[in-house]
Amino acid sequence: MQTLHNTTDSLIGVMKDVMSSIDDVNAALQQCFKLISDSSEEDIKYFMSNIFALNSLTDIEKASLATTVCGYLVERGFPSEYILKDTIDLFDTLLTQAKPFYDMFYAEVRSIEENDENRDEKIQAVFSNLIQDKEVVTPEMYRAVTAIEKFYPCAISVFSIDKENFYEARERLAEKAAYISRYNQGAYWLNTLFAVLFDEPVIMIDIDREVGFEGRINGIVDNYQLQHLLMSLPILNDGKSAISEEDFAVVNGSGEQSTDRSIESKWNMYNLELCSQPGWDVKVKNQANPASSIEYRNCWIWSEGAPADISFYDGYRVILLGKPAYSRSSRVQRAFRNLKAGIEVIKPLSPEEIGKWLNNTI
């Protein structure tokens, strides 16, 4: 009788065989998948920990497949703790090994003028030439740069599945991932994840209707998602939601990750600095000509940004909502499949409290 334990051993043998094809690997993997849902916790742990360990294989494609399989299982509800420490350790090692390459890369990039119209092409050429230079790039460096881009989906799955994993990984990896994030796709997504805020105090005020609340935000990756979640709150939307339940499930992390649907933005979002601009209230509240608020675009909270970019004042991220200067819409989706997001309303703001924030007298 086959068990997950012995089919795992068979899969490991196939993966380690330098002569095995991807078809051979997939056939052995399917035998494991047939058994995994009915297997014991001990056997599942054996499978995940031993398959994840194959990230060290010389064949980077097989190594990548091993991590992908484990990330897939985590996203389907299998225990992340079986590979959490190993995933953090692996990326700590890879990011450390990749750093000397990026030190050399940045040194060369600094010689390219910022206003050079061919800057991007020149940077790409520097990267391509350097990564192939075996005299200065060691095999360890080369593999690390490549492996970060190959293995990161598994890391995202493991680190985004709950807050505890997120904090443990961020403490070890955030600074190292940020260093290379501009020029490494895997590090870019890790850096994006590590910028997410949890239990972050916020003040939200609709400056036209003069309603608002004190609350907390959790798990919001970008300000598109922030806008969509704000549109679901009855306190800001005349006692109801301004988006469908289906779209709300997408943006809060309980539904599908991506759709072809789009939502028209309801507000311009502003930082509190708006309230220090001369005449802001007249132009931002201009019902006849909402486009006049473009004058204050230096105070806009850009949808492409993240909540961590929003100005912090007196212990809160302060978000002011006004009429949009022009029509714009965005796709209904979220960046990370299993990252749950939400806005908690702690208490409505009184007219006096709203006045203090808008008059900058807090």
Which tokens go with 268? 């311009």
pLDDT of residue 321: 96
| Beta pairing, strands 316-322 & 200-206 | parallel
Same domain flag for 36 and 116: no
Q: Could you give phi then psi for residue 261, rounded to 5 degrees?
A: -80, 160
- Confidence bin at 288 (pLDDT 50/70/90): low
Mean pLDDT computed over every residue of the chain: 95
Out of 11-15, 41-45, 222-226, 296-300, which region has the weakest mean confidence (pLDDT)?
296-300
CB atoms within 10 A of CB 240: 8
- Confidence bin at 361 (pLDDT 50/70/90): low
- Whether the pLDDT of residue 51 is over 80: the answer is yes
Mean pLDDT over 51-76 rounds to 97
Same domain flag for 255 and 325: yes
Residue 65: which of 57, 75, 90 has the closest Cα? 57
Mean pLDDT over 83-95 rounds to 98
- Whether the pLDDT of residue 292 is over 90: the answer is no
Same domain flag for 219 and 323: yes
Mean pLDDT over 176-187 rounds to 98
Q: Exposed, middle or buried, 278 (CB in 10 Å: 0-12/13-18/19+)?
A: exposed
Same domain flag for 100 and 181: yes
- Confidence bin at 209 (pLDDT 50/70/90): very high
Same domain flag for 212 and 304: yes
Same domain flag for 220 and 315: yes
Same domain flag for 70 and 119: no
| Overall residue count recorded for the chain in this entry | 362
Count structural domains, the chain. 3
Mean pLDDT over 184-212 rounds to 97
Enclosing domain of residue 164: 83-194
* 114 vs 131: CA distance, rounded Å: 22
- Whether the pLDDT of residue 287 is over 70: the answer is no
- Whether the pLDDT of residue 362 is over 80: the answer is no
- Confidence bin at 98 (pLDDT 50/70/90): very high
> How far does the chain reach from its first CA to its final CA, in angstroms?
71
pLDDT of residue 119: 94
Beta bridge partners of 312: 317
pLDDT of residue 325: 82
Same domain flag for 49 and 98: no
Residue 293: which of 272, 266, 322 has the closest Cα? 322
- Confidence bin at 289 (pLDDT 50/70/90): confident
Among the candidates 194, 210, 228, a domain finishes at 194
Angle between helices 4-16 and 22-36 (to 10 degrees): 170
| Beta pairing, strands 342-348 & 211-218 | antiparallel
pLDDT of residue 101: 98
Same domain flag for 242 and 346: yes
CB atoms within 10 A of CB 356: 13
Residue 159: which of 256, 85, 99 has the closest Cα? 85
Same domain flag for 92 and 229: no
* 233 vs 231: CA distance, rounded Å: 6
Same domain flag for 238 and 119: no
Angle between helices 84-109 and 163-180 (to 10 degrees): 20
pLDDT of residue 2: 87
pLDDT of residue 282: 83
Same domain flag for 205 and 347: yes
Q: Could you give phi then psi for residue 3, rounded to 5 degrees?
A: -125, 160
Among the candidates 81, 105, 126, a domain finishes at 81
Read off the pLDDT of residues 24-49 as tens digits, 9 standing for 90 and up: 999 999 999 999 999 999 999 999 99
Q: Quote the percentage of the chain above a pLDDT of 90.
A: 90
Among the candidates 167, 194, 221, a domain finishes at 194
Which H/E stretch holds residue 177? helix 163-180
The predicted model scores a pTM of 0.93
Cα separation values, 13 from 20, 51, 142, 237, Å = 9, 11, 26, 59
3-class secondary structure, 118: coil
What residue has token string 């690390």?
Answer: 144
Cα separation values, 288 from 284, 291, 323, 325, Å = 11, 9, 11, 11
